[in-house]
Each structure stands twice: as C-alpha cells, then as structure tokens.
Amino acid sequence: MISYPRVTVICVVLAAHMMVASAMGQDYPSRPVTIVVGYTPGATSDLLARTMAERLSAVWGQSVIVDNKSGVGGNIAATYVARAPGDGYTLMVGTDAMMTSNVFLYKNTPFDPVKDFAPITNAGANIICLAVHLELAVNSVAELIAYAKANPGKLQYGSSGIGSPHHLAGELLRQKTGIDIVHVPYRGGGATINDLLGGHIKLAFLSLSSAVPHLNSGNIRILAVVERDRYAAMSDIPTIGETVPGFEMSSWVGFFSPAPTPLPLLARLNDAMVNVLKIDAVKEKLAALGLAVAPSTPSELAAMVNQGLAVRGELVKAANIQVE
C-alpha cells in the first residue's frame, strides 16, 4: 500500500513532467510569452527584445510581451527571471553587465549568473559610442580630452548604470588619459539619452542604438565608438583607440531562460531566435541601431559569460568601482 506522502510526491513529479512535456510539445507556446528586460524603454536590450518579440509572435501565433523591470543595474529583472519556472514562458535579455559585472559590484547579489540561467543565444555585439551635446564645442576625442584637462571636474558623463560597459568605458578613458570627468549613472540608456538631449549632461557613453535615432535632432554628436575596430555599418565614425592607444571596451547582449528549462525546449528556443536573427531585414534594422548581430549556440553564450566573469572581475577591481 502506498502511503499518502509518497502519493503526493509522485503526483508532484508527474505534474512537473506533464508541464515540461506540454512546454516542449506541439502546443508550445499555448499562451503569451514574456521577455523581461532589465533596462528602460529605448535601451539596446529593450529595442532588441521588441524586435524579437514582434517576429516570434508572428511565427508562434501567440503574443510575446516585453516587460521592462529596470533598476539596480538589471538585477531586478535577473532576480525575477532566476526565480521563474523553466517552462519557456519567461525569458530574459541579458547583457554583459548583468551577467558578468554585477556580481562584483553588488554585495549579496540575489542570483548566480551561471547556476540560475540557461543561455539560449547571443544576439550580438552592442556597439557603444561616445556622444556629446552640441553645446559642448568639441568635434573629436582629442578636443574632448583637451577640454576636460582645461576644465577638471567640471564635465559630467552619463552612463546606463554603475558597472555597465558604458560606465567602464568612461573609467577606462579616465585611466588612459588622466582626465577628471564625473560619472552620472542612470537607470538605462533611455534615461541617459533623454538627459543628453535636454542638455542636462554634456557627455555620455551610449549604446549606438540609443543615439542613432536622435542624430538628426540637432542636439547631439557622436565622436567615436569604444570598440577596437570601427563599426562596419558606420565606418565613418572613428574609434577612441585611434586617439587613445590601447583603449577598447566591448559589450554583448543575449537571451536567457531560467536554469530549470529542459534542454529540448532550449534547443527549440535557440532555433526560433537564431532564425529571427538571420533574417536580413532584422539584421539590417539592428545594425542601423548599433547591434552587430552574431547569434550563437547555448554553449557558446555560456562560454562568453564565464570568460566575461573573469575579465570584468579584474577590471572592476582595478577601477575600484563600487555601487554608491
């Protein structure tokens, strides 16, 4: 005779298997899917999520909702997704900052970037640029450095948050040139670009996707990109490294699912998302926004996270960056 506690355990296990089977079955998705974003609307991760959501919705015949849970450098979103069921209905856009820098910046980070998430696919390299408000009369990185040296401590630069690659780019510029510029962290690229457009700050490190839509506004100018090489889609924009030898800061953005997600379901999600990223119209749209599309396998994205944890840990410590 089977005891009641054992029956309860068996029922729970069977229910879990049925849930997984349903998620991996032909009816997936049978209800709306949510893609959680850790930053404000207008940020690169948000624009990527909305592009992906639109395409997946058309393929799946189900609504794909983008849920912005900004704050604490993306930790609010990551914590939420880490605790979600691994059933394919809660996904996340994860950035290199969220997945590799935050554990070194925040005490008692409530998630483990390796153990709590299942990588789906890398989306691509997030091109970051150095932009200024037109009221700041500089037209090149060299002129900006000269201005900053002549006005120490008077120039503020915005970023999408403490420890973000945008912030690290600013700190690296300080280290390499000896200039004294003051960091102003925001809750995402959308808030940063808004204050730059309004002239509240005169300088910012932005994802190119946040800056490009406003180039014709007459308010901002892009001086350079922070990557090692010029961005092929906008090759007329120089790199900071062309003026400051040894300067380089790279960034990426990818898709993740909660860790319990079954491998067959991850494979289906990877296949669906990679197919979207390979569409010429999607690649062109994202390229124009500053995202160099480079889809991957789940294992390749996992390797990027592990490598990033090693590199960013050293950089954050060397720059003595702490959450205020």
Instruction: Identify the pLDDT of residue 19.
Output: 53
Average pLDDT over residues 135-157: 97
Strand ordering across the sheet containing 33-37: 64-68, 33-37, 90-95, 252-258, 117-126, 291-293
- Short-list 65, 219, 43, CA closest to 131: 219
Instruction: Identify the pLDDT of residue 1.
Output: 46
Class of domain 4-126+251-319: alpha beta
- For the entire predicted model, the pTM comes to 0.76
Rg (CA), the chain: 21
Kindly tell me if the per-residue pLDDT of 213 is higher than 70. yes
Average pLDDT over residues 127-145: 96
List every span in the chain annotated with CATH 3.40.190.150: 4-126+251-319
Q: Give the least confident one: 12-21, 87-96, 114-123, 232-241.
A: 12-21
Instruction: Identify the pLDDT of residue 31.
Output: 97
- Short-list 319, 11, 277, 292, CA closest to 169: 319
128-242 is classed CATH 3.40.190.10: yes
- Reported confidence tier of residue 14, pLDDT bands at 50, 70, 90: very low
Average pLDDT over residues 65-77: 93
Kindly tell me if the per-residue pLDDT of 104 is higher than 80. yes
List every span in the chain annotated with CATH 3.40.190.10: 128-242
Q: Give the least confident one: 60-64, 272-276, 313-317.
A: 313-317
Q: Whole-angstrom Cα distance, residue 180 to residue 246?
A: 19
Q: Give the least confident one: 16-25, 59-68, 249-258, 309-318.
A: 16-25
Kindly tell me if the per-residue pLDDT of 25 is higher than 80. no
